[in-house]
Amino acid sequence: MEKIFLDSNVIANWILIKDSAKKFKEFKDEKILRKRLENISYSYTLIEALMNTDEYEVETSNLAIGEVYHVIYNEILSLKMYRLGIPLTLWSKMREKQKLTETENLSRNI
């Protein structure tokens, strides 16, 4: 069995796409998924294929998992600021002032 190391960007992209696929039915069609998310769809395709085979042993690191957590946290925070109507130009300044609530905080769900 050959070993494969998954980096944080592949894992994070897969999580974000998988979440979008649950919310938007059009992303269930892989052609649409690849076209709309052209730059990151390879992550989704790779992990979905790895989940359906026994040919490879998948590994990652604690550092990669920490980076994935950071990406997901920032994604949730960005969505929150978008929903609050905070202009994109202010996000870098407002990021420090915005906090996730208990229910929004990813660490409570892991």
pLDDT digits (tens, 9 = 90+) for 33-56: 667 677 777 888 899 899 999 999
Tokens encoding 15? 């999580």
Looking up tokens 């690849």, which residue turns up? Answer: 34
DSSP H/E element including 4: strand 2-5
pLDDT digits (tens, 9 = 90+) for 61-100: 999 999 999 998 888 888 888 888 989 888 888 877 777 7
Provide the pLDDT for residue 110. Answer: 44
Instruction: Indicate the pTM of the whole model.
Output: 0.73
Tell me the residue type at 107. S
Q: Which residues pair with 5 in a beta bridge?
A: 59
Residues 6+ apart with CB under 8 A from 36: 27
Provide the pLDDT for residue 58. Answer: 94
The residue extents of the domains of the chain are 1-60, 62-110
Residue 48 backbone dihedrals phi, psi, to 5 degrees: -60, -40
